[in-house]
Structure formats: C-alpha cells, structure tokens
Amino acid sequence: MDQMDPRIDQTDQKDQTNPNDQTDQSDQTDQNDQTPENDQTPENDQAPQNDQAPQIKTSKLRNIFFKTVCISSVSLAVLVVSGMLMLKSVIRPPDIPAMEIEIVITEPPETISIAPETPALVLQETEHPADADSAAFLSPEGQDEDENAGGGLKAPEGFTSDDRKEQFYTFLLFGMDIGVNTDTIIVASYDGVNRKASLISIPRDVKVDVKRSMKKINAAYPAGTLNGRGHLGGVAQLKREIKTIIGFEPDFYACVDLEAFIQLVDAVGGLDITVPMDMQYDDPIQGLHIDFKKGAQHLNGMEALRFARYRKGNNGKSTISDYQRIENQQMVILAAVNRLLRPVNLLKLDEFITIFQENVDSDLKPENMMWFANELNQIRGTDALSMHTMPTKASGGLPPEYYEFLDRKRVVDLINQTVNPYKKNIVSSDLGIIGS
C-alpha cells in the first residue's frame, strides 16, 4: 500500500512539467508570433527601397550614356561637316589657263634704225612664265621659226574663253625613255559634267609642220630643250606642235617617268595582261630585258613597263609596228584603270597622289589632283573611258626620216567627238596637218 503507482507518478510528472512547458511554448509562440509581425514591417518598408536603388542607379547610368552618345554624335557631325567644308574649300577643279594674247609695248633696242618714239609691238602670252614660253627656241639648224608653231595661239582663231565647255579639261601626257625622247604621247580629256574621259595616242613618227630637219612629233620636246630652254622649253614646244595637229594647246601637262609607272602599277597590285605574242629582247645599253610568253600574264610594275616598251625582238625577229605598240600601251592603261577602280584601290588614292607628286612632273596643283582623284571615285567601270589612236593615211621615208602622215578629215572628226573642249566644232582649216 505504501508503493505508489508508477502511472500516477508519471502523470504527476507530466502535470508538473506541462505548465512550465506550455508557458515556455506560449512564450515562444508569442515571440514567434511577434517576430514576424515585428520584422515584417521593416522588411516590407525596406524592400521597395532596396529594389528602387539599382533601378535609380541604372536609370542614371542610362541617362549619362545617352547624353554621352548624343554629345559625341553632335561633336562628330560638327567635325565631319567642318572637315568637308574645309576640304571643299581646298579641293577644287583647276582653273583653265588663259588663252588671250597680251600686246606688250616695249622700247626697241638702240641699234635698230627706226624712230626712237616708235614703239615695237611684241606678242607675249600672259598665262605662262617667261622662261617657259618666251621666244627663245632655236632648232638645231639655227632656225627660230619653230617657236611660232601653231600660229602663236592656244586655240583656233576666233575662239574665246566663253566658248569653253563647262568643267571640260584637256591634258598632254607624255612618257620619256632613258634619254630625252618622248616614247609615248597622249592627248587626253576629262568631261566633269558627264564624268567621261578620252585618250588619243599620237604615233611618235607623225610628221609635223616645222622648219627643223627632223620633223617628227617626238623630236619636239628635245628640240625645245636646246639653248638653255630646259625641260619647260621642251614642254612648251611639244604643246605648240600638238596644237598644229589637234587645233588647240592642251590645258595641262604631265610628264611620267619610268619609276612613276612602275610604282603606280605595283600600288594597284599588278596588271592582268594578255600578251599577244612571244616577246624576247635584250638591250644592255638601256638595261632592258624582255621575256614574255604568249597568253595571259599577271605583270608587276617593271614587267608591265617592259611589255609597254616592246617594239622588236632579238635579231629583228617578232617586230611590231608603232600602232601595235600603241595598242599594247592602251591595253596596259585599260588594265590599270580597271584595277584602280576596284574599291580596295579607291581607298589608296592618297598613296597614288603621293606617287604622282614625287615621280610625275605636272603643272597641276595638289588640290587639283585631289579633285580629279575624287572624280575618279565617282566613275564606275571602264565604259567611261574611250581610247583611240590618231588616224593616219600613209607613211613614207627611210629611217631616221620615216614619217606617218595624218588623215586630216578623220582627225577633225575624232577631235570633235572626244577631246575638243569648245562648244564650237574645230574645222580642217584650224589644223596645221601636212600631207604626204
């Protein structure tokens, strides 16, 4: 009876434990209930702030970015426009040389037996310096009449500057061999309105109306350099004698030496040429060695030059005429233009201008070259380029006085269709072409 029921003891333990446990649990429950309530408000209050902070920061960064882009764009546009305006003010087409003749009154030398008060009239051209066009040319035979080749005028009689076509320019292009001979003579034109160019090759053996014994057109330049006239004297005389063939003096000239040709061809990446025949020739004196097989060839600058200069093979074999050599030269020019008009080469215009300035003698100014380079960028395809050879009707004589005689009527037609810079047609009487 004294022993207690274990179940009752356990119950009592449970009863003793449960109140405290419940109290603790209720306290914990209260704490648990309070903790979310106490924590929820700050969290709910702070959550929007934490979400808005990155958004505000991102928005500020976007605004800064957009402002930067806008400012940069406006600045770039201003720079581009300013650059274009500056370039436009610098890059410009060339001015056409004056064609008027100025009458200059000078006192005659005392040794001339005329009345002192009577002035002498001397014709002097205003657009060229005295050292280029003054009457100082004497031919090897001592005759000075050749200085008046072309009648002392730059255009047909009666033509004025008002008769010029708009943005139409003419050029005398010639290349020299290792001496002073003009191996290549070309009259060219550029029509800036229609963006078309024309080239006319003149055979070097064409006979011109001059007093010297060697009457070939390619003798004009070396004859003009005599008696202290030098290079400018040669250019002036060649232009005067060209005028007897085409009726006017070209506006500008460019003398291309061998190095310029080589560099230009190399700069465009070489030329694709179809060689018409086997070519083998060696000239140790000129350092000229030619060896090409018939067929398609890719030529570098030096090889293209050798191809263009080829006239005859070793021991007189495989000889070609001057006209065939002109055809080869025109093939080279066409291939060079084809290469030049490729987009990758149009990006090298500055390089081409540098080569031109360093290796080509010309009266074109750098800003004019840049203008023509920009015009070239507007041309698409070689259809805009026409190439011709001055038509002849006969040939005669024995070397070295072997001549080609021009066909006057066909020459007049060709000039008016291609390089005539005037609105009026040139007529047969404007030319000084001599017959056979």
pLDDT score for 411: 96
| 244 within some domain | yes
Q: Which of 326, 431, 331, 334 is nearest to 389 (CA)?
A: 326
400 prior amide bond cis, ω within 30: yes
Report pTM: 0.68
Which domain, by its residues, includes 295? 101-430
Q: Minimal CA–CA distance to 293: which of 320, 273, 316, 319?
A: 273
Give the whole-angstrom CA distance, residue 332 versus residue 134: 37
User: How high is the pLDDT of residue 95?
Assistant: 77
Please indicate, yes or no, if residue 257 is contained in any of the structural domains: yes
Give, for all 436 residues of the chain, the pLDDT tens digit. 444 444 444 444 444 444 444 444 444 444 444 444 444 444 444 545 555 666 666 666 666 666 565 565 565 555 444 444 444 445 667 777 776 543 333 344 343 333 333 333 333 333 333 333 333 333 445 346 677 676 777 888 889 999 999 999 999 999 876 667 788 999 999 999 998 999 999 999 999 999 888 899 999 999 888 877 888 999 999 999 999 999 999 999 999 888 888 999 999 999 999 999 999 998 888 778 899 999 999 999 999 999 998 988 887 788 898 889 999 999 999 999 888 888 888 788 788 888 888 888 999 888 888 888 778 777 666 678 899 999 999 888 777 778 999 999 999 999 999 999 999 999 999 999 987 5
Q: How confident is the model at residue 268, as a pLDDT? A: 92
* Model pLDDT, residue 142: 39
Rounded to whole angstroms, what are the CA distances from 391 to 166, 219, 360, 410? 28, 20, 28, 6
C-alpha–C-alpha distance, residues 307 and 277, integer Å: 11
- Per the structure, how many domains does the chain have? 1
Q: How many CA atoms lie within 13 A of 336 on its CB side?
A: 19
Q: Specify if 308 maps to a domain.
A: yes
User: Is residue 425, in this structure, part of any structural domain at all?
Assistant: yes
In a domain, 376, yes or no: yes
Query: H/E element holding 84?
Result: helix 6-90
In this predicted structure, what is the pLDDT of residue 86?
Answer: 41
Q: What is the pLDDT of residue 243?
A: 95
Q: Which of 189, 353, 184 is nearest to 257 (CA)?
A: 184
CA dist 432 and 391 (Å) reads 15
pLDDT at residue 393, rounded to an integer: 92
Does some domain include residue 58? no
Q: What is the CATH number of the domain that holds 222?
A: 3.40.630.190
2 domain residue, yes or no: no
At 418 the pLDDT is 97
Interior angle at CA 146, CA 140 and CA 147, nearest 5: 110
Look up residue 254 and give its DSSP letter. Answer: E
Residue 125, strand partner residues: 101
Q: Where are the alpha helices (DSSP H) in 95-166?
A: 130-133
Which of these, 73, 125, 66, 135, lies nearest to 98 by C-alpha position?
Answer: 125
Question: Rounded to an integer, what distance in angstroms lies between the CA atom of residue 41 and that of residue 31?
Answer: 16
Token pair, residue 57, equals 């920061």
CB–CB of 193/181 below 8 Å? no
Q: Can you tell me the distance from the alpha carbon of 256 to that of 270, in angstroms, rounded to the nearest whole number?
A: 18
Please list, in sequence order, all residues whose beta carbon lies within 8 angstroms of the beta carbon of residue 318, skipping any fewer than 6 positions away: 277, 278, 279, 280, 312
Q: Is 72 inside a domain boundary?
A: no
